[in-house]
Amino acid sequence: MKSNMIVSRYSTIDKVDPRIFGSFVEHLGRCVYEGIYEPGHNTADSLGFRGDVKNLVKELNTSFIRYPGGNFVSGYNWEDGIGPRGERPKRLDLAWKTLETNEVGVHEFVDWAKEVNAEINMAVNLGTRGIEEARNIVEYCNHSSGSYWSDLRRKNGANKPFGIKTWCLGNEMDGPWQMGAKTADEYGRIAAEAAKMMKWTDSNIELVACGSSSCEMPTFASWEATVLEHTYEHVDYLSLHRYYNNTKNDIQSYLAQSLDMDNFIKSVVAICDYVKAKKRSKKTLHLSFDEWNVWYHSQEQDKEILKRDPWSVAPPILEDIYNFEDALLVGSLLITLLKNCDRVKIACLAQLVNVIAPIMTEKGGAAWRQTTFYPFMHAANYGHGIVLRPQIECPTYDCEAFSGVPFVETVAVFNEEKEELVVFAVNRSLDEDVEFDIELQGFTVSATPSFTEISGFGLKDVNTKSKGTVKPQEKSAVRSGGNTVIAELAPLSWNVIRVGVK
């Protein structure tokens, strides 16, 4: 089959905000304990953080990490995680039926994030707590000195403020599973008041209000509209969360789920712009897709683990083992985020280590890359610059979930600094190669393109600690000249074509 794409230097969507390649570390399962933190591990640093995990996080190149939850944050006392470690209280975490030791708190996480070159996106508890605790943690983290909370931070070893810029106003406050869940009016009011006080404490911060926990919530859309009625002028982003699954084992519908993500984004943009118009506001709200991923493989086993062993420390829950088809979907979702980069400025792959994560660890043992590690690593390393508006001609298919699904999902990003055009593409066809012709307008090819792909694996193939089978390989099936690049996209493949351009 054949597919054509024209990309023009003069037809652009927007510049990619690097925070779109964000991730998420929650005090959940083995994400923090036995994930990023394991004193006693043979690669651990002086603070107890695993060196092998830090190296993989750097390789992944995630720029921005949401912390400390997730559902966990809605019952969290951030003060439990400061001060001498030996004196920190152990608490029951009602979100995940786990015992939280508080060995890792804000100071430790700030140190770790610095080492992996990531900015922190801190969430405050608006479930069981309120506006007072929210403004206190901003003062603790960001005020230089001379006030109660800033001096306490200094006493606890951090003379310089942490300078945390982006803050989430709670988490999934529409969900009945959330501690302190709220109606849209209740949440809108508390979020607006918290936002005012947090910004009065530090006027440099940016705030994310909670959108719906998913577009399948019965209150979706009216939740967003009501929350924004209260918060529009006080916040900078609205959050979106969405997890995908292939429980029906229908590969064609599964790989089409990036169309669902695209619809979801477009709907939330419409709601934001409706409130903007209603309020005659000059401000345009951006989106923070701060939880997205595939999540379903571990769900049955988690029920057993939590029934058998509630209130344990770091139980192995949400440990999805990702396969090749999951990597293809994750690739398509990354392309979708890039195509919407004019409104999506933040996105967080949920999560980073062990918990629905691209990186897995074994206690006292190895750390390894899941299949989904690679498309994220490619996008986070090469997807920087200006996204070009793609004009595409491509055959389509119909499936149970959608009709008119293009076989090729693709986007091109122009990195002016590196004089490089990077094309990401997924071929959804189960059995056909695609001859993919890319016509460049306003550029000429200046170097032989490089072509990396992930293909040729069984849909259910996975990586384990001893077998990293599903991984990228270099390909030579690409020709170029003048203003044309032609690549052969293998059936069921993730492809990265990097072209030097002038």
Catalytic residues: 172, 291
C-alpha to C-alpha distance for 260 and 266, rounded to whole angstroms:
10
Residue entry with tokens 């006027």: 203
Which residues, 28 to 47, sit near ligand AHR by CB under 6 A?
28
Q: Per rule CB under 6 A, is residue 173 in the interface with ligand AHR?
A: no
For residue 303, the cross-strand partners are none
Span of 69-77, 274-282, 433-441, 474-482 interacting with ligand AHR by CB under 6 A: 69-77
Closer to ligand AHR by Cβ: residue 168 or 445 = 168
Shortest distance (Å) from residue 398 CB to ligand AHR: 31
| Contact by Cβ (8 Å): 31, 38 | no
Q: How far is CA 227 from CA 210, 251, 286, 484, 487, in A?
A: 8, 36, 15, 48, 46
For residue 154, the cross-strand partners are none
Shortest distance (Å) from residue 214 CB to ligand AHR: 8
Which residues, 280 to 299, sit near ligand AHR by CB under 6 A?
291
How buried is 110 (Cβ within 10 angstroms: 0-12 exposed, 13-18 middle, 19+ buried)?
middle
Closer to ligand AHR by Cβ: residue 104 or 497 = 104
**Tokens linked to 118:** 């990531």
For residue 37, the cross-strand partners are 33, 49
Q: Per rule CB under 6 A, is residue 121 in the interface with ligand AHR?
A: no
Q: Per rule CB under 6 A, is residue 320 in the interface with ligand AHR?
A: no
**Tokens linked to 194:** 């918290």
Q: Per rule CB under 6 A, is residue 171 in the interface with ligand AHR?
A: yes
Closer to ligand AHR by Cβ: residue 98 or 213 = 213
Among 69, 75, 315, 449, binds ligand AHR (CB under 6 A): 69
Span of 10-18, 63-71, 469-477, 480-488 interacting with ligand AHR by CB under 6 A: 63-71
**Tokens linked to 390:** 């793609």
Closer to ligand AHR by Cβ: residue 70 or 358 = 70
Span of 58-66, 68-76, 305-313, 339-347 interacting with ligand AHR by CB under 6 A: 68-76
C-alpha to C-alpha distance for 139 and 134, rounded to whole angstroms:
9
Among 172, 193, 236, 453, binds ligand AHR (CB under 6 A): 172
- Exposure string for 301-316, b = 16+ CB within 10 A, e = fewer: ebeebbeeeeeeebbb
Nearest 5°: the CA angle 359, 355, 50 is 50
| Contact by Cβ (8 Å): 322, 366 | no
Which residues, 440 to 469, sit near ligand AHR by CB under 6 A?
none
Shortest distance (Å) from residue 291 CB to ligand AHR: 5
Among 22, 48, 68, 70, binds ligand AHR (CB under 6 A): 70
Which residues, 200 to 239, sit near ligand AHR by CB under 6 A?
213
Q: Per rule CB under 6 A, is residue 26 in the interface with ligand AHR?
A: yes
Shortest distance (Å) from residue 11 CB to ligand AHR: 36
Among 317, 350, 394, 413, binds ligand AHR (CB under 6 A): 350
End-to-end CA distance of the chain: 30
Give residue number: closest CB to ligand AHR. 70
Shortest distance (Å) from residue 352 CB to ligand AHR: 10
C-alpha to C-alpha distance for 373 and 23, rounded to whole angstroms:
12
Closer to ligand AHR by Cβ: residue 24 or 254 = 24
C-alpha to C-alpha distance for 284 and 271, rounded to whole angstroms:
11
3-class state of residue 396 by DSSP: strand
Give the distance between the most distant pair of CA atoms in the chain: 68
Binding site for ligand AHR (CB under 6 A): 26, 28, 69-71, 171-172, 213, 291, 350-351
